[in-house]
Amino acid sequence: MAYDLVIRNGTVVDGTGAPGKRADVAVSDGRIAEIGRVEDGADEIMDAGDCVVAPGFIDPHTHYDAQICWDGAVTPSSWHGVTSVVMGNCGVGIAPCLPEAREIAMRDLVNVEGIPFDVLDKGITWDWETFPEFVDAADARKPSVNLAFLAPLTPFRHYVMGEESMERAATPEEAGRIAGLLGEAVDAGAFGFSTTILNQHVGYEGRPLACRNADDAELTVYAHVLRERGKGTIEIAATKRIGIIDDDQYALLDLLLTESDRPVTFLGLVDRDDVPNAAWDTLEKTAPLLERGVRPQILPLPLTREFNMRNPFSFAAFPSWNRVFVDKSKEGQRAAYADREFRNAFRGEMLKQLNFCDFNRITLHEVKNPALKRLEGQTVTEIAKARGTDEVDAFLDVTLEDDVDNEFIFTSFNTEIGSMTRILNHPHVLIGLGDGGAHVDMLCDAGYPTFLLGKWVRERQAMTLERAVQKLTSEPADLFGIAERGRLREGNWADITIFDPENVGSPERNERSYDLPGGAKRMLRPSRGIECTIVNGKSIYRDGRLVGASSGRVLRS
């Protein structure tokens, strides 16, 4: 028989963790038809040479909810071998949404996910109101990659409670109505729901993101939605102290796990050099939960991000900075940064969590004021020492001297090779946290699959190639219940990534692009060594460029 596609001469690493083997892969009608020595011909023969033929990578933590309106290839993820993405994380999203509430939903994305309002205003199509309509609209656009959705709790609460969702817990009657909508979402294909308790997740008008107001009784009702259906996963941003689970967060994870009887994944693990063994201590503390189905997430990239003082997301966890998000005009922010009471309050809060804001990790990256150009590349600590002032004053004085147009680079954690090696190889740790589509003006971590394969596998030999591929494919597929994907197996859908193991990788620093709606800036991380990304049997990325196929589909639980 003649196949649609045969990939010859590659090393098949099938996503199970088994050793790679030389084999051909045949594809017919979008599915894998044969693996082994394929004798029959095909409409297309692809020579994989000395490359690895692996399942398409599955990114479990993205925020492409808005971006799919203008970019069905969800770049840059597809450049890095990703064939399926899970959206709707951290409790923030744009469906369901009443027409009169669209600005609130967009402002939530601005504050929580760092996506410029003008980009959202120009790019979101709003051809839906309910969550099932949102999913159907995504499918109708014929995306290039597969799209899987979590139901983010914030828009569901706001749809039922209005602005009171940002102020209080739901009544039993309201929680019942919200649960009904969540049930409709799961029945329409959502892979569970998401929420957050992080202080830095502030939404419209600087108020807490609505899902943060859900109490235990309310969350129990929502967990029962998944229990009753016997499917779905809960994602929660749970570590109020970076990478550390306290007793109250442990209790919350236990509640969600017990009441849903479904897997729970939380954010996140961080390898902190200022708190030795913090990540490992968290793994040991949560070990009973891990055995029952909880999965912490970690990013295999160093946590490095650019930020500007017009959108200072990195400081949203400090209560004193709330006024900066309430009045985001330049005049209002200048007034806040100059206010002595604001500075003193910030200093006081830093004493409680100094490790979160180590000014020796914050470098002045770019200024517009020519008189400040000589300071670019210096840390805030160095600038303060030269000026004979303290770091808070130096940080905010430079900002005011540049009319709030300056940018900093914040370099934090996930850099120590020994401890990261242990964490990445842990059997219950989920590799992810790429945040694709979010914080577009300050970071791009969506390239973590190629970074993992290049830096941690080839260069540092921290894990085997087979184990890394398993962590990028079958493990996220199994956690979320994404069927017939994540493994190269006859009968499964033909989501395939072909990469050169001797060249695959991505740089540690991002590049700037101005390709968002309206020409707005975003940070991008290019890939290297990805020869081809195949979705449902069709090439969507090949030889370093998108090739225009629209073979992706909405995945349904």
Q: Are strands 511-513 and 496-499 parallel, antiparallel or unpaired?
A: unpaired
Query: Stretch 207-221: mean pLDDT, rounded?
Result: 96
The whole-angstrom separation of Cα 426 and Cα 463 is 11
DSSP classification of residue 453: I
- Res. 356: pLDDT tops 60: no
Of 71-75, 314-318, 332-336, 522-526, the range with the lowest mean pLDDT is: 314-318
Residue 373 has what pLDDT? Answer: 94
**Tens digits of per-residue pLDDT, 374-391?**
999 899 999 999 999 999
Q: What CA–CA distance (Å, rounded) separates 456 from 20? A: 18
3-state secondary structure of 34: strand
**Average confidence (pLDDT) over 331-356:** 84
Q: Is the pLDDT assigned to residue 118 strictly greater than 80?
A: yes
Alpha helices in 33-92 (DSSP H): none
Which tokens sit at 412?
A: 């934090």
- Give the pLDDT of residue 392: 93
Prediction pTM value: 0.89
Q: In this predicted structure, what is the pLDDT of residue 316?
A: 76
Going by pLDDT thresholds of 50, 70 and 90, the confidence category of residue 355 is: very low
Across 97-124, average pLDDT:
93
Q: What is residue 152's predicted lDDT score, i.e. its pLDDT?
A: 98
Lowest-confidence range among 73-82, 248-257, 469-478, 507-516? 507-516
The pair phi, psi for residue 405, each rounded to 5°, is: -105, 5
Per DSSP, the three-state class of 520 is: coil
Structural domains of the chain in order of their starting residue, each with its CATH number: 57-303+416-482+503-529 (3.20.20.140), 306-411 (no CATH)
Average pLDDT along the chain? 93
Q: What is the pLDDT of residue 357?
A: 63
pLDDT at position 287 is: 97
- 352 vs 14 pLDDT, higher one: 14
pLDDT recorded at residue 200: 81
- Interval 530-539: pLDDT, tens: 999 999 999 9
The residues near 361 (Cβ < 8 Å, ≥ 6 apart) are 379, 410, 411, 412
Beta bridge partners of 294: 264
Using the predicted structure, report yes or no on whether residue 296 has a pLDDT greater than 50.
yes
Question: Tokens 């990028």 identify what position?
Answer: 472
Q: Look at residue 354 in the predicted model and tell me its pLDDT.
A: 45
What's the one-letter identity of residue 244? I
> Over the stretch 229-247, which tens digit does the pLDDT of each residue have?
999 999 999 987 778 899 9
pLDDT value of position 500? 98
Say yes or no to pLDDT of 185 above 90.
yes
Q: 351 pLDDT exceeds 50?
A: yes
pLDDT above 90 for 206: no
pLDDT in tens, 311-328: 787 787 788 888 888 888
Query: CB atoms < 10 A from the CB of 436, how many?
Result: 29
Helical pair 153-161 and 102-113, crossing angle rounded to 10 deg: 150
Q: Are 201 and 112 in contact (CB under 8 A)?
A: yes
Tell me, what's the pLDDT at 133? 98
**The pairing of beta strand 522-524 with beta strand 545-546:** unpaired
Percent of the chain at pLDDT exceeding 70: 99
